[in-house]
Amino acid sequence: MNLLGSYIPSASLIHRLDPSFKLLSFFLLFASFIILSLSLTGFFVSLIVLVILFRTGRIPMRPVFHTIWKFRGFLAAIFLMNAFFQPSEKAYFSFLFITFSRYGVLMGIRMVSSVALLTSLSSLLTATTTPVSITRGLRTLFHPLSFLRIPVDEAASIVSMSLCLIPILARESEDIVLSARARGLDVEKRKLRERIRALIPVVIPLFVQSFRAGDEIAEAMEARGYDGASRERIAIHFGAKEILSLLISISILTASIMLKGVFS
């Protein structure tokens, strides 16, 4: 199961939050996790907060780990780029533009942990919020920017459609990989250069399918007379649970800023 971009219906507290307050709370949590991931202790604190959020939202964490594991090659590339290309005065090894140091290794670990935490938090957001609700929340939060002639409605619609396409493209990629394996293609038991070459028959059809899906959505929207403007009124519904979620997010962000020096 690919949890990224997939909505899981439930009656949990996080599901019932107003989308505007939910998005604002998650944005504050994103900032908190970025700050806390700069240290090992902060990473474990973020992980504890993440587990509590997943339990509150009644969302299983195993699919999230499975999704992150699929991107292990990307995470390994992030780690290697930081480990071997971070300038440092105390380098273990240095040759031309390549510098391997303790500072680079630590930066690589921090970057990988940040990406993993933010990916997990994004999965929780999309699993507890429908794309339509995310669109409404973004329109409400960024509505003041419309007075500056910024196309808020169009931007919110683009984000909503992108979230809808994530699980579709994930399923398409799995089907393409399975069909390629049925023809004898195996990208797991190869050397790095051979694995990159073997991925070409997988990546190209996926790009073609994504562009085709985008064209179909555009034609369907034009046929229905969509002009980018939303006729829905801006409305915010908040109660005790929305205020509590916002206060908790602000408290976590404040604590992460105050404890940054302690964790470093």
Residue 2: CB partners within 8 Å, gap ≥ 6?
63, 66, 67, 70, 167, 170, 171, 174
Q: What is residue 197's predicted lDDT score, i.e. its pLDDT?
A: 65
Q: Which of 119, 117, 128 is nearest to 14 (CA)?
A: 128
Q: Please list, residue by residue across 210-244, b when 16 or more beta carbons sit within 10 angstroms of its beta carbon and e when fewer do.
A: eeebeeeeeeeeeeeeeeeebeeeeeeeeeeebee
Confidence of residue 259 (pLDDT cuts 50, 70, 90): confident
Higher pLDDT, 91 or 125: 125
List pLDDT tens digits, range 5-36: 678 888 899 999 988 899 899 999 999 998 88
Q: Which of 232, 227, 216, 210 is nearest to 138 (CA)?
A: 232
Q: Which of 22, 2, 14 is nearest to 135 (CA)?
A: 22
* pTM of full prediction above 0.85: no
Phi, psi of 58 (to 5 degrees): 55, 45
Rounded CA gap, 219 and 213, in Å?
10
What's the whole-number average pLDDT of the chain? Answer: 78
Extract the tokens encoding 131.
Answer: 């794309």
Instruction: Outline where the chain has alpha helix (H).
Output: 19-36, 40-57, 62-70, 72-85, 102-128, 131-141, 152-182, 192-223, 240-258, 260-263
Averaged pLDDT for residues 134-148: 81
Q: What is the DSSP letter of 147?
A: G
List pLDDT tens digits, range 83-104: 787 776 676 777 777 777 777 7
List pLDDT tens digits, range 68-80: 877 777 788 888 8
What residue has token string 């699980």?
A: 167
Confidence of residue 258 (pLDDT cuts 50, 70, 90): confident
Q: What is the DSSP letter of 228?
A: S
List pLDDT tens digits, range 34-52: 888 877 788 888 889 999 9
Q: How many CB atoms lie within 10 A of CB 66?
A: 12
Rounded CA gap, 5 and 50, in Å?
17
Q: What is residue 170's predicted lDDT score, i.e. its pLDDT?
A: 67
Residues in the chain: 264
Residue 81: CB partners within 8 Å, gap ≥ 6?
108
Query: Quick check: 35 and 256 in contact, CB under 8 A?
Result: yes
Q: What is residue 235's predicted lDDT score, i.e. its pLDDT?
A: 63
List pLDDT tens digits, range 197-236: 666 666 777 777 777 777 777 777 778 776 655 555 556 6
Give the three-class secondary structure for 19. Answer: helix
